[in-house]
Amino acid sequence: MAEQMKPSGVEWIKDIPSSWEINKVKYLATEPGTLFLDGDWIESDVIEESGIRYLTTGNVGAGFYKEQGSGYISEKTFSELHCLNVYPGDLMISRLNEPIGRACIIPDTESRYVVAVDNVILRPNANYNKKFIMYGMNADGYAEHANMIARGATMSRISRSQLGQFWLAFPNIEEQQAIADFLDKECVRIDSIAADLEKQIELLQRYKKSLITETVTKGLDKSMPMKDSGVEWIGKIPAHWDVTRVKYFCRMYSGENLTSTDIEPDGDYPVYGGNGKRGYYSNFTNDGEHVLIGRQGALCGNVHLVSGKFWATDHAVVTYPTKEVINKYLYYLFQSMNLNQYSQSAAQPGLAVNVILALKTCLPSTLKEQETIVDFLDDKCLHIDQIILQKEHQFNILQQHKKSLIYEYVTGKKRVKEVR
């Protein structure tokens, strides 16, 4: 017989089994009143290549540890700053960037760690299971509640006291362990399928890129005589094609400045930056079909085809091909050139217009051949994109299923049969 449910009094948790209780995060710690063990403020100039591993908010995934970054601090710095000793198996929570309040268990790849100031460590008392708490902190409703409370103009953040006020639902410690074990098993299964889908998507994207590059540098007729282009990344090209610099068949201009406060959710014209659509505005800077190239940020070199009336921001380069090349061919050609490799400055990568214009590439000698290549790539890329969309849809369904599964078990909507 199913256990009766009772109201939890917490909006996102809703009803819970009558034997369960709710508690605030601040009351879960080994030493009541200490709330959390705080991360440390580590200046970038003390980060080294070896020593004690330094973990930032970027290492905290939503229910999983993310291996990224490779910073360390020395034993001497650790001692001078009186840093917190953090160990494998500790529960690490991030107060910065969405999803706010996400948590993970620190792995056993190092004997100890030091964590950044926007991470906190929670060591719960014997009544609470760390893994169960971690899953609760990554449940849908919890994350939405935390994100709603977070504040910050450039980066969202919550305070330690706010984090301590959040509610979680708890069965007895035996059922917490059983639920954590069950979710471990189910999440590994789901993650394995999701990882396979991600790999398939990545392979399809690589194939699409290689297909574009092969076609705009070798053409469609493999029986044609070839010649050396003199450009290393291109290699041989059809003998009747031309080797030229971008500046001889394309003009380029940076977009116009527009602040984030000017961008509207539902203005008259779309606003495009270097990485796609950013919103809308009441005016436009360009009309017609144009290729846009991202010129700033980590993804500079991105290529987009945009048509109609739109505003291009100063983070994008707007291209104007001459009569020697059709616009859609230019779109495929720039994708093949891997423009990101020509960016300058590691801190804030930027792609200069004069650098792009000076690059060497190749072109078919007739517009007719360009049109034939565009038609071929349009058809092939559409087919590949449709497959990618299907797999992305499957991936999203899996992720939503995982979130729903976690929510249902950490709030008692579903129970692990062995402990009921």
Task: Report yes or no: 297 and 315 within 8 Å, Cβ to Cβ.
Answer: yes
Domain boundary among 363, 385, 402: 363
* Number of domains comprising the chain: 3
Mean pLDDT confidence for 304-322: 92
Q: How confident is residue 260, by pLDDT bands cut at 50, 70 and 90?
A: confident
State the angle between helix axes of 173-218 and 367-410 in degrees (0 to 180), rounded to the nearest 10: 180
φ and ψ of 277, to 5 deg: -70, 135
E-only strand ranges, 145-302? 167-170, 226-228, 236-238, 242-245, 250-254, 269-273, 276-281, 286-287, 290-294
Which domain, by its residues, includes 270? Answer: 242-363
Q: How confident is residue 261, by pLDDT bands cut at 50, 70 and 90?
A: confident
Reply yes or no on whether the pLDDT at 270 is more than 80.
yes
Mean pLDDT confidence for 326-352: 87
Reply yes or no on whether the pLDDT at 418 is more than 80.
no
Reply yes or no on whether the pLDDT at 338 is more than 70.
yes
Report which of 123, 125, 128 is spatially closest to residue 173, judged by C-alpha positions.
128
Placement of tokens 């090349």 in the chain: 325
Same domain, 13 and 156: yes
Q: How confident is residue 406, by pLDDT bands cut at 50, 70 and 90?
A: very high
Same domain, 354 and 415: no
Q: Rounded CA gap, 173 and 374, in Å?
A: 63
Same domain, 187 and 217: yes
Mean pLDDT confidence for 282-298: 89
Reply yes or no on whether the pLDDT at 32 is more than 80.
no
Q: Rounded CA gap, 48 and 51, in Å?
A: 7
Domain boundary among 348, 363, 378: 363
Reply yes or no on whether the pLDDT at 303 is more than 90.
yes
The contacts of residue 358 (CB under 8 Å, 6+ apart) are 245, 246, 247
What is the reported pLDDT for 346? Answer: 59
Structure tokens at 349: 């990568």
Same domain, 292 and 373: no
What is the reported pLDDT for 417? Answer: 78
Residue 33, SS3 per DSSP: coil
Same domain, 18 and 156: yes
Q: Is residue 345 situated within a structural domain? A: yes
Same domain, 84 and 188: no
Alpha carbon distances (Å) from 230 to 238, 243, 244, 330? 13, 8, 11, 21
Q: Is residue 229 situated within a structural domain? A: no
User: 52's torsion region: left (phi>0), alpha (psi -120 to 50) or beta?
Assistant: beta
CATH number at 57 reads 3.90.220.20
Reply yes or no on whether the pLDDT at 152 is more than 70.
no
Structure tokens at 43: 């200046």
Mean pLDDT confidence for 365-381: 96
Find the largest Cα–Cα distance for the chain: 80
64-113 pLDDT per residue, tens: 998 888 789 999 988 988 888 999 999 999 988 888 889 999 999 999 99
Same domain, 11 and 119: yes
Same domain, 28 and 163: yes
Q: Rounded CA gap, 290 and 184, in Å?
A: 49
222-247 pLDDT per residue, tens: 999 999 999 999 999 999 999 999 99
Reply yes or no on whether the pLDDT at 383 is more than 80.
yes
Q: Which amino acid is at 134?
A: M
Q: How confident is residue 169, by pLDDT bands cut at 50, 70 and 90?
A: very high
Q: Rounded CA gap, 304 and 293, in Å?
A: 7
Percent of the chain past pLDDT 90, that is, above it, reads 64
What is the reported pLDDT for 101? Answer: 87
Report which of 396, 401, 407, 405 is spatially closest to residue 143, judged by C-alpha positions.
407
Of residues 165 and 199, the one with the higher pLDDT is 199
Mean pLDDT confidence for 355-361: 95
Domain boundary among 318, 333, 363: 363
φ and ψ of 239, to 5 deg: -60, -25
Same domain, 38 and 125: yes
Same domain, 248 and 359: yes
Mean pLDDT confidence for 107-122: 91
φ and ψ of 382, to 5 deg: -60, -45
The mean pLDDT of the chain is 90
Same domain, 164 and 177: no
Cα 275 to its chain centre, rounded Å, is 13
Same domain, 341 and 380: no
Q: Is residue 160 situated within a structural domain? A: yes
Report the relative pairing of strands 15-17 and 242-245 from DSSP bridges: unpaired
Q: How confident is residue 156, by pLDDT bands cut at 50, 70 and 90?
A: confident
What is the reported pLDDT for 108? Answer: 93
Mean pLDDT confidence for 14-21: 96
Q: Rounded CA gap, 290 and 334, in Å?
A: 12
CATH number at 184 reads 1.10.287
